[in-house]
Amino acid sequence: MFWIRLRRAGKSIRVPCLSQIVGIAIGLLVMFTPSPVLANPIASDLAQSQAAFQQGVNALEQADYAEAIAQFTQTLQANPQFAAALSNRCLAYLQQGNYDDAVQDCTEALLLDADNPEAYLNRGLAHDRLGQFEQAIADYNQLLQRRPNDFRAYYNRGLAHFEQGDHREAIADYEHSLRQPGLNQIALAEVYRDRGLAKLMLTDQAGAIADFSKAIQFNNADVAAYYNRACAYHRQGDLQLAIQDFTQVLAQVPDHAEAYRSRGLIRYQLGEKQQAIADLQQAAQHFSSQGEAIAYQQTLNLIHQIEAVAFAVG
């Protein structure tokens, strides 16, 4: 979870802008993940091993990761040097959040086949999830040596650079990714959104807004792009446009507590105290129901502050 804290003039009400980095929003992570490796067993005459491998691939495609792991394990019991089974089991472990085992399987796969690009991608993802960003970048570099046009490697390497705080390198990688073939509209939206976030971190509000707008153009259901564009508009002083984007977020995610709180604070900044209190009350209700006790109490405190100021002025 990444936070942008926005400043406003006068005393301290801050608008917390939550970035939900992609995709990187598959059920796993914020990253582009590979498809299963389709291969035949290495020098194996065991039909059972081949059948287990195919069943594992089928389970992966159906997102049944426990079954995929069981089938690839059975394959490897019959043929321990079956690199594709190791690489695919690594992917299944990734999807389960078992990153240490994923690293181990992909490392073993690469010892058997050093030119396995999917294993480098998988292991890079696992290293990233473990916070091992230098190792992740090294794996993506290895992949790019073998596939110089792989947009996934550029994009994922950009994410690793972003996590390291190197936003310029992240932007460079996102731009490389955008120049490669193979990106569908959803992937384009994700890359533009994350490049926009990196630009926002570099206080390039105009560039960030342009990228978030591109993301929305490719995927008008991209809630994070609307949310982050609202943050950029707020930084730029375009408060009405920020409100419009937070409203778009709430149209798609009616219980988005942060969007209610952010919109309420901007409305307070515009002098719309009753609308601000109404939004903050909605935010508090959703924070409470979502078990966010600290955010709930902070939002109640904001409501009390606004009501106290209004009473004092009245």
Q: Structure tokens of 239? A: 């408060």
Interval 236-267: pLDDT, tens? 999 999 999 999 999 999 999 999 999 999 99
Give yes or no for residue 93 having a pLDDT over 70.
yes
Neighbours of 181 (CB within 10 A): 7
Report pLDDT for 310. Answer: 62
Reported as half-sphere exposure (CB side, CA atoms, 13 A), residue 172 has a value of: 5
Cα–Cα distance for residue pair 215/27, rounded to 1 Å = 20
Mean pLDDT in residue range 122-130: 96
**How many residues does this entry show for the chain?**
314
Residue 64 has pLDDT above 60, yes or no: yes
Please give the structure tokens belonging to residue 202: 């570099």
Q: What is the CB neighbour count within 10 angstroms for residue 41?
A: 21
Looking at every residue in the chain, the average pLDDT score rounds to: 86
pLDDT beyond 70 at 4: no
Identify the pLDDT of residue 36.
62
DSSP H or E run through 221: none
Q: Write b or e for each residue in 57-93: b if 16 or more Cβ atoms lie within 10 A of its Cβ, otherwise e.
A: bebbeeeebebbbbbbebbbebbebbbbbbbbbbbbb
pLDDT of 268 > 90? The answer is yes
pLDDT tens digits, one per residue of 94-121: 999 999 999 999 999 999 999 999 999 9
Instruction: Give mean pLDDT, residues 165-194.
Output: 96
Residue 50's pLDDT is 86
Q: What percent of the chain has pLDDT over 90?
A: 80
Give tens-digit pLDDT for 14-50: 334 533 322 222 222 345 555 565 554 444 446 778 8
pLDDT at residue 231 tops 50? yes
For the chain, list the domains and their CATH numbers: 2-254 (1.25.40.10)
> How far apart are the C-alpha atoms of 271 and 160, rounded to whole Å?
41
pTM to 2 decimals?
0.83
Token code pair at residue 125: 């993802």
Mean pLDDT calculated for residue range 191-199: 97
Q: Given pLDDT bands bounded at 50, 70 and 90, which one contains residue 312?
A: low
Beta pairing, strands 2-6 & 15-19: antiparallel
* 58 token code pair: 């089928």
Q: What is the mean pLDDT of residues 122-142?
A: 97
Residue 1 binned pLDDT confidence (cut-offs 50, 70, 90): very low
- pLDDT band at 229, cuts 50/70/90? very high
Closest to 176 in 3D by CA, of 198, 195, 202? 195
Q: Could you report the per-residue pLDDT of 283-307, keeping only the tens digit for each?
A: 999 999 999 999 999 999 999 999 9
Distances in whole angstroms, Cα of residue 19 to Cα of each of 137, 197, 229, 279? 22, 8, 10, 20
For residues 273-291, one letter each, b for 16 or more C-beta atoms within 10 angstroms of the residue's C-beta and e for the rest, the string is bebbbbbbebbbebbbeee
Q: Give backbone dihedrals phi and psi of 19, rounded to 5 degrees, phi first.
A: -95, 130
